[in-house]
Amino acid sequence: MNNLLKLPPLSLYIHYPWCLKKCPYCDFNSHEGDIHTGYINALLTDLDNDLKYVQNREIRSIFIGGGTPSLMSISDASELFNGLKKRLSLAKNIEITLEANPGTFEVEKFAQYREAGINRLSIGVQSFNNDQLKFLGRIHSGEEATQAISEAKKVGFDNMNIDLMYGLKDQTSEKCLEDLMKAIKLKPSHISFYQLTLEANTLFSKYPPILPMDDDIWDMGNQGANLLHQNGYQQYEVSAFSNRPSEHNLNYWKFGDYIGIGAGAHGKITDMNSKTIFRTLKSKSPNDYLIKFQSNTGDSNIKNIDNVSFEFMLNSLRLKDGFSTQLFQSRTGQSIENLSPKLEKALDLGLLIKDDNWIKPSEKGFNFLNDLQEIFL
């Protein structure tokens, strides 16, 4: 690292690992079963141990993911936010997102969540088609999803993401667009439109369902992106469409820093004293996590990022508009000149566009993103 390295913006990720039912496609750290008491205390102790990573920065965004964080009681949410405010400096216009599933929605509860400080919801709809929801192992219906989003708006949530999948069993492009149009008509500020993938260590990987052909899935993605664009949703990242991009997502894709607390939570930290960039990882098992923090023994595995330039490119090339060379240098501490041979290769292959001090994927590069990213390994 050299003097090019600058301290980036800082976010906070909080993991809430419990859910009512584990979905067959889900590879996140989520666990069925009763919610353990003492988890909020453990989260705050976890944060206390990581306060050294703040380095006099304010928190720009908070994202509470899971699991199903909307299972959290109001008293637990209040305890958590009171603890955060005592320990951290929160930005004036901070974005605070809670992941939620329509099956756990209660209008009164979400009004109280909003009062507690949450100002953005990310709702895991996945589909409005009841047959597809059954296939995906979801516990809500399409009607419940529609009702939940409408009710959330009534209590003041004007910043909301809807997650929607495509490439599902027996799905056609027509059915995909019909599903997507239902989401658009609800007028969320943000739609995450992404392909179902069969991840390792999931029920779907053990018993793979028959999915549409690759060419058909490709058509769904392209036609879906066009439909979103026609209805005013601009694609700013591979799976993200909005005219109000998520601050938390942008910080992640721009290789910003984030503290990760909770069972299985990851963090990414720039340390200006040692001029190093590293990742943190907490115990995945909620039981192990609780035992370690209740006994105040701490729990954080630290791993230095060896190939910092590749990690940056892996993230930032997902952004439709790309990034400045100055951003690369300030986030990695490396000169953009170090990448010259690889940049030239990507340019020659037509996968990249470089204009003065700005770099972004070409349309071809965005469509074949894995090929583009691999060049920078």
Q: Are residues 126 and 244 in the same domain?
A: yes
Q: Are residues 198 and 123 in the same domain?
A: yes
Q: Are residues 314 and 239 in the same domain?
A: no
Domain boundary among 252, 274, 291: 252
Domain boundary among 228, 252, 276: 252
Structure tokens at 22: 């584990």
- How would you write the chain as a 3-class SS string? CCCCCCCCCEEEEEEECEECCCCCCCCCCCEECCCCCCHHHHHHHHHHHHHHHCCCCCEEEEEEEECCHHHCCHHHHHHHHHHHHHHCCEEEEEEEEEEECHHHCCHHHHHHHHHHCCCEEEEEEECCCHHHHHHCCCCCCHHHHHHHHHHHHHCCCCCEEEEEEECCCCCCHHHHHHHHHHHHHCCCCEEEEEECCCCCCCHHHHCCCCCCCHHHHHHHHHHHHHHHHHCCCCEEECCEEECCCCHHHHHHHCCCEEEEECCCCEEEEEECCCCEEEEEECCCCHHHHHHHHHCCCCCCEEEECCCHHHHHHHHHCCECCCEEHHHHHHHHCCCHHHHHHHHHHHHHCCCEEEECCEEEECHHHHHCHHHHHHCCC
pLDDT band at 333 (very low <50, low <70, confident <90, very high): very high
Q: Which residues contact 56 (CB under 8 A, 6 or more apart)?
A: none
**Of 333 and 293, which is predicted with more confidence?**
333
Tens digits of residue pLDDT in 184-193: 999 999 999 9
pLDDT at 258 over 90: yes
**Of 254 and 148, which is predicted with more confidence?**
254
Task: With respect to residue 303, please indicate whether it lies within any of the assigned structural domains.
Answer: no
Q: Are residues 125 and 204 in the same domain?
A: yes
pLDDT band at 67 (very low <50, low <70, confident <90, very high): confident
- As a whole number of angstroms, the distance between CA 278 and CA 268 comes to 6
User: What percent of the chain shows pLDDT beyond 90?
Assistant: 77
Task: With respect to residue 271, please indicate whether it lies within any of the assigned structural domains.
Answer: no
Mean pLDDT of the chain: 93
Give the domain extent around 367.
308-374
Q: Are residues 245 and 370 in the same domain?
A: no
When pLDDT is averaged across residues 83-98 and rounded to a whole number, the result is 97
- As a whole number of angstroms, the distance between CA 4 and CA 270 comes to 13
Q: Are residues 15 and 91 in the same domain?
A: yes
Crossing angle of helices 39-50 and 286-294, rounded to 10°: 70
Q: Are residues 329 and 187 in the same domain?
A: no
Q: Are residues 330 and 229 in the same domain?
A: no
When pLDDT is averaged across residues 91-103 and rounded to a whole number, the result is 93
Task: With respect to residue 147, please indicate whether it lies within any of the assigned structural domains.
Answer: yes
| CATH number of 171's domain | 3.20.20.70
When pLDDT is averaged across residues 16-35 and rounded to a whole number, the result is 79
| CATH number of 334's domain | 1.10.10.920
pLDDT at 87: 98
pLDDT band at 304 (very low <50, low <70, confident <90, very high): very high
Task: With respect to residue 295, please indicate whether it lies within any of the assigned structural domains.
Answer: no
pLDDT at 202: 81
Task: With respect to residue 188, please indicate whether it lies within any of the assigned structural domains.
Answer: yes
CA atoms within 13 A on the CB side of 42: 27
When pLDDT is averaged across residues 205-214 and rounded to a whole number, the result is 90
Tens digits of residue pLDDT in 334-372: 999 999 999 999 999 999 999 989 999 999 999 999 999
Task: With respect to residue 259, please indicate whether it lies within any of the assigned structural domains.
Answer: no
The domain tally of the chain equals 2
Domain boundary among 252, 272, 287: 252
pLDDT band at 28 (very low <50, low <70, confident <90, very high): confident
pLDDT at 200: 85
Task: With respect to residue 133, please indicate whether it lies within any of the assigned structural domains.
Answer: yes
When pLDDT is averaged across residues 240-262 and rounded to a whole number, the result is 97
